[in-house]
Amino acid sequence: MTNLKSKIENPKSVVILGAGAWGAALAKLAQINGHEVRLWSRQGFETMAVVLKDADIVVSAISMKGVRDVASLVKSCPLSPEIIFVTATKGLDPQTTCTPSQIWQTEFPHHSVVVLSGPNLSQEIEEELPAASVVASKNLVAAHQVQLVFSSSRFRVYTNPDPIGVELGGTLKNVMAIAAGVCDGLHLGTNAKAALVTRGLMEMVRIGQILGAKPETFYGLSGLGDLLATCNSPLSRNYQVGYQLASGKTLTEILNTLPGTAEGVNTCRVLMQISQQQHITIPITEQVYRLLESEVTPQQALDELMLRDIKPEYNQ
């Protein structure tokens, strides 16, 4: 354990890849702590090689669709063998169904990869409201280094030894946030929302266990915590997708005006591939998928869920 008051004895050179909402908020957190921070974006003027020079920690806050290309670009640059990679993306690769940390670890097998995830709506972080998050890695020394970079009196960071669980907690909840937006958009009430989020958490645990996560991780900040934040906040882009679908807008109309990325749309499609390959029962995700594909209306999706076979609570 480290006393926060004595923390900035060793400032790091931190590179943030992606200057979107989350990249900018993470850059601010590290800067406030006295670290040297450089931001790379595909619209920027500096080359990746120049930005990465002398970096200690490289944080990816790129949307899922860009992770593979950006990781290969980083690989083409000269790098110190000591660099720690941090991934803050909440998505799944549609081609391989891999998580972002699996992509980074495959590209950089000899480097430590740390997952950063938690209930972290970027606008609230930018406003310096208090929040907590998790850094997870098989290498807990590396996770602790990243914990020191971001921890402050406004941002409390915990370490965790289950990177795939922490990563999937943040990724799978985006699909549930779309469903929660629909629930609120249809004015279904507090009981319905509680049922949806609780059953959604069970669905997340079921998928997560098959993909190698520890079930208990989903009851922490990156699973339950992020569900509570994202399923209840109009600041969440995923929640907004669901809310606006319930009001009758098409997905194309919604995505055309959404500020930034709603990863749950792509994640839902990838989860349908995984559930078919692995025979996992994911009824809420399936209805969100059918809604996104315009196969059902929000009301029909609700009816399908309510009229499923009755069963014990702790059984599929």
Ligand X SMILES: O=P(O)(O)OC[C@H](O)CO
285 part of the interface to ligand NAD, by CB under 6 A: no
Q: Which is nearer to ligand NAD, 106 or 278 (CB)?
A: 106
Measure the CA dihedral 218/221/222/228, to 10°. 90
In order of 3, 140, 165, 200, the CA distances from 84 in angstroms are: 22, 12, 19, 33
Six token digits for residue 181: 């937006």
Q: Which of 7, 12, 173, 249 is catalytic?
A: 173
**Alpha-carbon distances of 152 from 6, 59, 128, 280, rounded to whole Å:** 11, 18, 10, 40
End-to-end CA distance of the chain: 40
* Phi/psi of residue 149, nearest 5 degrees: -65, -40
Going by their DSSP bridges, the two strands 113-117 and 131-136 should be labelled as antiparallel
Among ligand NAD, ligand X, none, residue 19 binds (CB under 5-8 Å by kind): ligand NAD
Strand order in the sheet with 36-40: 36-40, 13-17, 57-60, 84-87, 113-117, 131-136, 155-160
Q: Which does 69 bind (CB under 5 to 8 A by kind): ligand X, ligand NAD, none?
A: ligand NAD
Segment near ligand NAD (CB under 6 A); pick from 15-23, 49-57, 177-185, 275-283: 15-23
Contacts with 310 (C-beta within 8 Å, 6 or more apart), sequence order: none
222 binds, among ligand NAD, ligand X, none (CB under 5 to 8 A by kind): none
Residue 155 Cβ vs ligand NAD, minimum distance, rounded to whole Å: 12
* Residue nearest ligand NAD by beta-carbon distance: 20
**Which 87-126 positions form the footprint of ligand NAD (CB under 6 A)?**
88-91, 120-122
Q: Which residues bind ligand X (CB under 6 A)?
A: 90, 119-121, 174, 177, 226, 229-230, 236-238
From the list ligand NAD, ligand X, none, pick the one residue 230 interacts with, judged by a Cβ distance below 5 to 8 Å according to partner type.
ligand X
Residue 173 designated active-site? yes
Active site residues: 173
Write out the residues near ligand NAD by the rule CB under 6 A. Answer: 18-23, 41-42, 61-66, 69-70, 88-91, 120-122, 260-261, 263
